[in-house]
Amino acid sequence: MNISWTLLLAFLGLIFGHGIPGAIVGGIAGFIIDSLKQNQRRRATPEAGGYIGPLFALLGAVAKSDGRVSEAEIAVAERLMTRMGLDAEQRKQAISSFNAGKQPEFDVTPAINGLRQWVGMRRDHAFPVLDVVIETVIAEGNPPPEKMAILRQLAFALRVSDMELMALMAMKGYAWNAGAGGNYRGPGQGHGGGYVPPQRNTNGPDPYTVLGIDRSADDRAIKRAYRKLISEHHPDRLGDLPEEMRKRAEARASEINAAYERIKAERGFK
């Protein structure tokens, strides 16, 4: 712990607070400040490797949610372990967690809570986590409602809206309309009456969906949406995020830039 405030206020208390009693009061006040600062740092900076257990457990649960775990879904998990550069012990943990997640009685809530705690206040870390889970969700093509329900539960826990999740799916080439009343509200509340499962878009991602805006939006709204998205997805903000997730962020930033350039070309603004 950084004890700078503890020492500083203890010293000031000693000088200006009539000796030892003042030093004690100042030291306690400084310790409280240092503790609060440490907690803020913990929330802001994910623990290295802390995502492995809950992430792979959730991937196992997603894979099993439609009744069976396919070879494609296993391959996604194996590729992810390789690309993340997991060492032998981490790989063992990932495999064990994936196998636990695919058990029929597995409850996804603790795994989702674990990822939420790991992400903390860093929304820019939430998107790479969702991106990894989406890869398993779409491993067999158009995803069934069971897989989307887990994905949306995770998005809700990470404070990512259905509109933002739609944009992430669009970057993967899937068109999806959650519909009016289709927003996921939390565990146990279902999909909503307007939910439409994502479908593969063979024409490529719609640039407006990528930016999370309607085609009727004016130029100012488009620019505002672009600036917000690129600030949340820019890889320079990701700190010590694993290299594999950083690469995903770079790819998403490229997609966002490409979508914005397409819209600018269509509308003729700079």
More reliable by pLDDT, 249 or 48: 249
What is the model's pLDDT at position 6? 67
The per-residue pLDDT for range 27-47, each reduced to its tens digit, is 677 667 656 655 544 444 444
Q: Are 58 and 101 in contact (CB under 8 A)?
A: yes
Write down the mean pLDDT value for the chain: 78
CA distance 101 to 59: 7
Residues 66/146, Cβ–Cβ less than 8 Å: yes
pLDDT at 185: 41
What is the band of 180 on the pLDDT scale with cuts at 50, 70, 90?
very low
Which region among 80-84, 121-125, 237-241 has the lowest average model confidence (pLDDT)? 237-241
Task: Say if CB 116 and CB 158 are below 8 A apart.
Answer: yes
Q: Is the pTM of this model over 0.75?
A: no
Centre a 10 Å sphere on the Cβ of residue 222 and count the other Cβ atoms it contains: 22
- Residue 82: is its pLDDT beyond 80? yes
Average of pLDDT values for 203-212?
A: 78
Q: Is 61 exposed, middle or buried (0-12, 13-18, 19+ CB in 10 A)?
A: buried
**Beta partners for residue 174, in sequence order:** 200
Query: Please, which residues bridge with residue 200 across strands?
Result: 174
The CA distances from residue 187 to 42, 46, 68, 82, 260, in Å, are: 27, 24, 22, 32, 34
Of 24, 2, 1, 18, the C-alpha closest to 10 is 24
Q: What percent of the chain has pLDDT over 70?
A: 70
pLDDT score at 164:
85
Phi, psi of 161 (to 5 degrees): -75, 165
State how far the Cα of 10 lies from the Cα of 149, in Å rounded to an integer. 53
